[in-house]
Structure formats: C-alpha cells, structure tokens
Amino acid sequence: MHQVVARSTAAEPLLKVSNLSRHFPVGAHRVVKAVEQVSFEIAAGETLCIVGESGSGKSTLGRLVVGLDVPTGGAVTFAGHDCQPKRGRSGGRGPIQLIFQDPYASLNARHRVSDALAEVVRIHRPAIGEAAVSARVDELLVQVGLSPRDGMKYPHQFSGGQRQRICIARALAADPRFIVCDEPTSALDVSVQAQILNLIKLLQREQQLTYLFISHNLAVVYHIADAVGVMYLGRLVEMGRKHAVFGQPTHPYTRMLLNAVPKLERSPDAALAANGEIASAIAPPPGCAFHPRCPLADARCAREIPQMLAQPNGTFAACHAAEERRLPF
C-alpha cells in the first residue's frame, strides 16, 4: 500500500487541501493541534461530509477552507489557485462561502433582510445598478423558498428554518462555487431539518455547487454525502466514497461510530455515539491518538502515528491494523 493524498473521487478536484494544520497556543507552553496534517480533494459538484466528535477540529477546518482563519501550515488550493487567507473578514472569499450552525447569531438583527442581501450583492456584482441589485435580492429570496416581500422584514420576524434560508441566500449572494456548511441544520427542529437539507441539495443541482458539509449526525451525512471524511483529534483517519465508508468501514473508530447507529435509513437523528471519551486535543495520546479506545491497539499503535493509506475497498484509512491486515473482518 502506498501513502497517497486521500481523494474523494477520481475526477479533477475543485478544492485541494494539502497538509493543512492549525495550532492554537494554550497558556505559555502548550498548543492545541485543532487541525493536523489534513489533506484531501473535492471534485466539482460533489459533497464531502466531515464527521467527528465534538472538538475533533471540524469547524476549524471549515474556517481554514473559507479563509476566515490562517493555517499554521499547509495550503488550500481552489480551482488551481493557492488561496491566501486574509484576517479580519466577516464573509468568505467570494467563491467560497460559509453557512453556520446558528442562523440567528450570524444575521444582524438591525438590518432588514433585503438590505443585508443587497450589501453582499453590491460587493460581488459592483458593476450593476440599484434596480438590478434589488431584482437580484428578490431572485435570491425566491431561490431559497421565501418571497420578495419577506425582504422587508427583520431577522427576528422569521422562524429558525426561515432564518437559515436567509443565511443560505446571503451565501448565494456572493455568487459562490463552493460552500462550507458547518452543522447547518443541527440547531433546527427535526421537522425543519429535512426541508433545509433538501434545499441545500436542490441548490447544488441547480447551481453546480460544491460542498464541504460538516455534521455530527450520521443520518444527515448518509442523506447528503458523496464522500465522507472522518476526523479524530484534528486528523483525518478515514476517507472515501460514502457507500464504501458506510458499507465497509476500515478504521476502528469509523466502525465504532457506525456500530452505534445500525439502521441509518430509519434513524431521524443518528447523532455520533462512540464508546469512551474523546481524549484532550491539548495532550493527545502518542502514536495513534485513538489507541486508548481501540480494541486492536498494540505497542506500535502507542508509538507510531499511522499514515493515510489506500485500502482494498477504495477508501483511505490511517490504521496500523489495516496496514498489517489484522482487522477482524
């Protein structure tokens, strides 16, 4: 087996992440390795879902990809160009936008919805006049299932699901090609979650969007993903096409997550559940960080960090037991 960059697909990538790391200083002498040596590629028009327990580095990865945070090391390449992150920007890069978990916190309560959208349209289409800006705002509202009249209202006059629709409209206002969706439905009522997910999928088809979709809900991931990446304490530990990862998971951590939710199709809220506590990102265990929880751990696991390797089922996984062909099935 050769070490290679985990690819979600054989197609030409739109977004490429290479050896991306983000370390946060904690106190005088310690760092949290929130994202460590993460590499992957996403093809145009596809959805890569990132799953992992709380604190595994999913949001930090999303912020790095959008350019809201600066990596400690590594690079993000979009459509063949190196993306230089800029500090202190509230939006994404333009072609790369972000939708957050909490649609209320990310909207300015004092701005009418149409004004908030118009501001973004003016930035990204500077050559068009005010009549065209207002027509574009109406079009955006309709695209997300609202009406042009809703533009006159303020964020507090909408339900949670409608507010997330407004956030999606605001992301679309920047004419993006790529959207990072960070738990976009997890703050919503279960009945509304499916509507928002369906909207996200519909917009992808209509506008050829590419998504990095972060979720701790495996049922949502099963519904929306083309490819899946599993993170553990800042590192990608398994990645591949959805049906391979869900159907024949390689990594013991992926197996543990999936064993906890055996009937995904019928489970409306298959939140991640795994045995044992996730270790601290400040002092991760040496070697394979999963080794204190892993039933297959041996002395090598406690000593040597496993690298992502191509597996027989087409996924990539970072596991010594997989490399040594001593997985139980």
Mask of contacts with ligand ATP, 252-281, x by CB under 6 A? -----------------------------x
Question: Pattern of binders to ligand ATP over 223-242, x per CB under 6 A?
Answer: --------------------
Binding-site size for ligand ATP (CB under 6 A) equals 13
Q: In whole angstroms, what is the distance from residue 250 CA to residue 150 CA?
A: 48
Q: Which of 313, 300, 305, 319 is nearest to 253 (CA)?
A: 319
User: Hunting for tokens 């040596």 — which residue is that?
Assistant: 37
Within 8 A by CB and 6+ apart from 193, the residues are 185, 186, 220
60 binding ligand ATP? (CB under 6 A): yes
Name the closest residue to Mg ion (Cβ): 59
Beta-sheet pairing, 73-78 with 316-317: unpaired
CB of 284 vs ligand ATP, minimal distance in Å: 10
H-state helical runs in the chain: 58-66, 113-124, 130-143, 160-172, 190-207, 218-224, 242-247, 252-259, 320-323
296 is a contact residue toward ligand SF4 (CB under 6 A): yes
Count of CB atoms situated within 10 Å of the CB of 269:
12
Q: Report the 10 Å Cβ neighbour count for 58.
A: 25
Residue 24 contact partner, candidates ligand ATP, Mg ion, ligand SF4, none, CB within 5 to 8 A by sort of partner: ligand ATP
Give which of Mg ion, ligand ATP, ligand SF4, none residue 54 binds (C-beta under 5 to 8 Å, depending on kind). ligand ATP
Which residue has tokens 């591949």?
A: 240
Asked whether position 56 contacts Mg ion by CB under 5 A, the answer is no
Give CA separation, 167 vs 83, 104, 205, in Å.
24, 9, 19
**List 37, 59, 185, 217, residue binding Mg ion (CB under 5 A):** 59
- Please report, as residue ranges, which positions from 182 to 221 form the binding site for ligand SF4 (by CB under 6 A): none
For residue 40, the tally of other CB atoms under 10 A from its CB is: 24
- Of 6, 46, 57, 294, the residue at the interface with ligand ATP (CB under 6 A) is 57
Please identify, among the stretches 92-100, 127-135, 147-155, 283-291, the one whose residues bind ligand SF4 according to the rule CB under 6 A.
Answer: 283-291
Of residues 230 through 269, those in contact with ligand SF4 by CB under 6 A are: 251-252
List of residues contacting ligand SF4 (CB under 6 A)? 251-252, 288, 290-291, 294, 296-297, 301, 306, 319-321
